Amino acid sequence: MGQSRARLLGMTPEGLTPELRARLASLEAVLFDLDGTLIDTLELIMTSARHATRQVLGEALPDDVLRHNIGIPLKAQMAEYAPDHVPELLAAYREHNETVHDDLIREFPGTEEALGALRAAGYPMGIVTSKSRPVAQRGLDFFGLEGYFDCVVGYEDTQVHKPEAEPLRECARRMGIPADRCIYVGDSPHDIACGNAAGALTVAALWGPFAERVLEPGPTFALGSLGGLAELLRGVEQSVGRRRA
């Protein structure tokens, strides 16, 4: 695993295959997961999940159980905790989450600078998240990031969810861009599986909470910081003599 990560992290535009270089040079959009990728919500999610399982089930489930499927829709997570208590778990989770949301979320260092660099380079950007759009929008608004994105696709926008391809395909469709001309950045294995299934290039966000598991579905790249993506794309454009903006 360490060698694989080092190879992916160490990849430069000069180290790309001709096919991959061509795909990167033809990219038309950059798409992102939200939680764990642009915004650090792990403490918020874990605190809310502990509260909900403690209140409904009588005790909080172990953290490794609560963390395991972060990244899929909340209803599906609750069904894995206790399939006979999904409505109560959802209600308790959402009530607590609403109360402590703004106190427990953090922006990853360098996020706004990286988004600014991608926008300056001319890349349209979108969000593909398993959250509901209003909750996702609250996080974007809190950090002043909403203006960077042309599209936000949330839980309610598709019938099928991550790790299937449909959420990413829907975002690409709304942006008028083929899914295989997008690159998708996410921190969970569900994100990478979604992007791969849609035919997009994928980037494992190693700064998120799933630094080992996110590599399992086979991302195209793994990066240690969001700024690395802007640097990679800039290097590809320079190597092929192309400028977007």
DSSP 51-106: HHHHHHHSSPPPHHHHHHTBTB-HHHHHHHH-GGGHHHHHHHHHHHHHHHHHHH-E
Neighbours of 1 (CB within 10 A): 9
Burial 137-166 (b: 16+ CB within 10 A, else e): bbbbeeeebeebbebbbbbebbeebbbbbb
As a whole number of angstroms, the distance between CA 80 and CA 232 comes to 38
Q: Is the N-terminal amide bond of 62 cis, ω within 30° of 0?
A: no
Cβ(70)–Cβ(36) below 8 Å: yes
Which positions are annotated as active-site residues?
33
Q: Is 36 exposed, middle or buried (0-12, 13-18, 19+ CB in 10 A)?
A: buried
Counting Cα atoms < 13 Å in the Cβ hemisphere of 116 gives: 5
Task: Write the CB contacts of 166 (distance below 8 Å, at least 6 apart in sequence).
Answer: 158, 159, 160
Closest CA to 103 of 34, 37, 40: 40
